[in-house]
């Protein structure tokens, strides 16, 4: 204990930082309303990585608090550069010096901040260490979407199915084996949570991304698309407030709530909960998902009669409340864990590589040798060239930072993960 005390006292001499001007007399720092954000909130522990520690200080009236003195004591790593402002936050950069989890003691005008997260140490070399939590399936089942699937010239290729539908993980024979599968449709799910929001993913796998006629650049073997349901978890129940759709071509945003506003990305339109679930329309050929606004049942009836389509609902859903004209077109789908079934097999099915964070390389593509070879991108490699600071991999692995860059959700978005199996936080 004596050694630790001496170490902290020495660190205090080095790490004490003075900022701004003395606090105004009418200000009182409120520890409960102040919080700290780490960006990013994880590291692979490679020497030289830099993390930003940002203090959001608030008064009892919820207004920004101007400190006279800030003291930051990292358990490892070293402070680098000077304090800087980012919006109304006061930030400091920490350089990682050894591969270990980093905790902080932070004092503002002599008061110890209590809501201070740790910098988590990723362990990307040991994915078997983590497993999907049962509550992730429960939440995914609760909000599992109703899917209106459009059908094109190859109906067998316009149905979401398991990646190992042909009883192997070899990605180069899926185009040829497409018509052989007779099992149930499958939607993969995943869950990531922070203190303020839950991000529920639904992934759709198709053995072909195709055109009519098939031609290079428009057709290839293996295809992924997905939606991310963004839920506010500040109350007793999760409340869907927005949804992002995704393909390898980019992301689009839709809102359930008028409190959600554009940020770097525009809002493409409205989404709605129908019979307790979002309704997602998925196109034929390229399998682009799009949430429907409050469905006009008559228009939906005409579309289902006019265009080849079918309706997928999660297994166990009571469909008696759905309109009668849909009943003959309804088929169940099963939910499977994307983390368990796909992520853990990424090195088997993937090829190439890109660096997510320093020292952590992930497969960049899913192999395929039909029409356009090796064209399919997996969800962990998706990127959009014009969505601000969001980089490849962040949409799935770091959705809180992704969404806070894309949209203004109308309130605080915590970047402190409470559940994220991809980053080893469970």
Alpha-carbon distance of 377 to 270, in angstroms, equals: 27
β-pairing verdict for 330-337 and 309-314: parallel
Alpha-carbon distance of 209 to 220, in angstroms, equals: 5
Alpha-carbon distance of 133 to 136, in angstroms, equals: 5
Output the average pLDDT for the chain: 88
Sign of CA dihedral 71, 76, 81, 87: negative
Q: Worst-scoring range by mean pLDDT, 46-60, 80-94, 214-228? A: 46-60
Quick: pLDDT tens for 201-222.
Answer: 999 999 999 999 999 999 999 9
Quick: pLDDT tens for 159-173.
Answer: 999 999 999 999 999
Q: How many alpha carbons fall within 13 Å on the CB side of residue 16?
A: 9
Kindly indicate the confidence band of residue 17, based on its pLDDT and cuts at 50, 70 and 90.
very low
CB 110 within 8 A of CB 75: no
Residue of higher predicted confidence among 184 and 87: 184
pLDDT at 238: 93
- Residue 227 β-bridge partners: 202, 245
pLDDT at 23: 44
Quick: pLDDT tens for 96-129.
Answer: 888 778 899 999 999 999 878 888 777 655 555 6
Residue carrying structure tokens 């002599």: 110
Edge-first strand listing for the sheet containing 35-39: 35-39, 50-56, 89-95, 78-86
Quick: pLDDT tens for 347-400.
Answer: 999 999 998 876 788 999 999 999 999 999 999 999 998 888 888 999 999 999
Alpha-carbon distance of 140 to 316, in angstroms, equals: 13
Sign of CA dihedral 36, 40, 46, 47: negative
Kindly state the average pLDDT of the residues 318-330: 91
Quick: pLDDT tens for 278-313.
Answer: 999 999 999 999 999 877 778 888 888 888 999 999
Q: For the chain, give every domain's residue range.
A: 2-121, 127-423
pLDDT at 3: 46
pLDDT at 62: 85
Alpha-carbon distance of 70 to 74, in angstroms, equals: 13
- At the top level of CATH, the class of 2-121 is mainly beta
CB 362 within 8 A of CB 393: yes
Torsion of CA 92, 94, 39, 342, to 10 degrees: 180
Kindly state the average pLDDT of the residues 53-59: 92
Distance of CA 49 to the CA centre of its chain: 22
Residue of higher predicted confidence among 164 and 43: 164
pLDDT at 87: 84
pLDDT at 7: 44
With a pLDDT cut of 70, the percent of the chain lying above it is 91
pLDDT at 418: 87
- What tokens were used for 64? 């920004």
Alpha-carbon distance of 273 to 145, in angstroms, equals: 9
Kindly state the average pLDDT of the residues 17-41: 69
């Amino acid at each position: 204990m004596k050694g630790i005390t001496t170490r902290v006292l020495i660190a205090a001499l080095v790490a004490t930082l003075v900022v701004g001007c003395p606090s105004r007399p009418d200000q009182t720092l409120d520890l409960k309303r102040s919080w700290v954000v780490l960006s990013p909130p994880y590291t692979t522990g490679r020497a030289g990585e830099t993390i930003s520690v940002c203090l959001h200080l608030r008064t009892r009236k919820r207004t920004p608090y101007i400190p006279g003195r800030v003291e930051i004591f990292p358990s490892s790593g070293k402070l680098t550069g000077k304090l800087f402002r980012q919006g109304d936050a006061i930030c400091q950069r920490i350089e990682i010096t050894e591969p270990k989890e980093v905790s902080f003691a932070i004092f503002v005008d002599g008061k110890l901040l209590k809501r201070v997260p740790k910098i988590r140490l990723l362990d990307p070399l040991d994915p078997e260490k983590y497993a999907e939590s049962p509550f992730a399936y429960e939440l995914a089942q609760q909000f599992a979407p109703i899917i209106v699937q459009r059908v094109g010239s190859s109906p067998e290729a316009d149905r979401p199915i398991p990646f190992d539908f042909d009883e192997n993980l070899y990605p180069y024979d899926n185009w040829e084996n497409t018509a052989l599968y007779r099992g149930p449709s499958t939607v993969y799910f995943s869950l990531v949570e922070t203190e303020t929001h839950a991000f529920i993913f639904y992934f759709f796998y198709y053995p072909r991304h195709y055109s009519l006629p098939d031609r290079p650049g428009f057709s290839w073997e293996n295809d992924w698309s997905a939606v991310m349901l963004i839920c506010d978890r500040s109350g007793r129940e999760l409340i869907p407030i927005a949804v992002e759709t995704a393909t390898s071509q980019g992301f689009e945003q839709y809102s359930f709530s008028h409190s959600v506003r554009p940020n770097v990305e525009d809002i493409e339109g409205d989404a709605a909960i129908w019979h307790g679930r979002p309704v997602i329309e998925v196109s034929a050929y390229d399998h682009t998902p799009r949430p429907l606004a409050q469905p006009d049942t008559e228009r939906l009836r005409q579309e289902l009669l006019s265009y080849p389509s079918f309706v997928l609902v999660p297994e166990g859903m009571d469909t008696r409340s759905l309109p009668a004209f849909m009943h003959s077109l309804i088929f169940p789908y099963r939910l499977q864990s994307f983390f368990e079934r796909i992520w853990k097999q990424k090195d088997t099915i993937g090829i190439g590589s890109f660096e997510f964070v320093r020292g952590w390389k992930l497969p960049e593509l899913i192999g395929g040798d039909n029409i356009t070879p090796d064209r399919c991108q997996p969800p962990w490699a998706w990127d959009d060239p014009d969505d601000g600071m969001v980089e490849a991999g962040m949409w799935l692995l770091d959705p809180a930072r992704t969404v806070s860059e894309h949209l203004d959700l109308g309130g605080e978005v915590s970047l402190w993960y409470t559940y994220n199996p991809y980053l080893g936080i469970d």
